Structure 1
Amino acid sequence: MSCSSSFTPIELFTAEDVGRRRHWSDEDKVRIVEESFRGHRQGSATARRYGISRSLLSIWRRAYRDGTLGGPDLGGSFVPLVMEEAAAAPVGHSAPPSQDARIDITLPNGRCMTIPASLPPSHLAALLAVVDPR
């Protein structure tokens, strides 16, 4: 009896060979994150489109909001306010205050709100907590 054996060559793939881990530049991350913010519920669709996990996109979105990804600085800042006394109007010719006075507010997430000027600050704070949660 003769013992002959044949071996088939085996090719071994390591993690470096596969190339599974990609390195995204900050510009690419910002572009992907901004695309995920367009429209309603675009996070999952954008993650699938670029072949990344939703959790990674969520991490990038959080960094973008915090300003550590290179996106716009969404942190609060103070704006100088100057109040001047109004010139005295002639008696008898003053118009009643307008009930239709409105204030336009643009939020850091790109949404715009138009609110009545008479809206109490507590109502505005509750509205902002819903529209732009942080």
Structure 2
Amino acid sequence: MSDGKDDGGAAPGRRRRSWTLDEKRRVVDESLAEGASIAEVARRYDLNANQLFTWRRQLAVEPAGLSDLAPILPVTITPETAAEYSGPAPTCQMEIVLSEGDRIIVWADVEAAALTRVLKALSRR
């Protein structure tokens, strides 16, 4: 016999827990603490780690350090025709122009890890 409550498809005999917004914030804040493990925090509250990630997105929080990164700027790709281009034969390279006017030119063989280190160093200036 049903008690009239929706269990959301939970296993028989098991009721679905309802979390208040304050409870969710407290658990999310705990998951953002220095050295915290998402899996451990989730287990402590009998949650699936995916649910905790969902709450973090819903509450629009950023893990520590993400707000320190440089903002993402719009990129414009403009095609060059043969008549407009008078330099040497094109090579596989990319030019990155930062908001402060700094330019970085990298070739196709640049290692992603090295480029990441350079960009992070420049963003900390």
User: Which has the larger Rg?
Assistant: 1
Give me the TM-score of the superposition, normalised by structure 2. 0.42
Query: So what's the TM-score if we normalise by structure 1?
Result: 0.39
Q: Which of structures 1 and 2 has the larger relative contact order (alpha carbons within 8 angstroms, sep 6+)?
A: 2
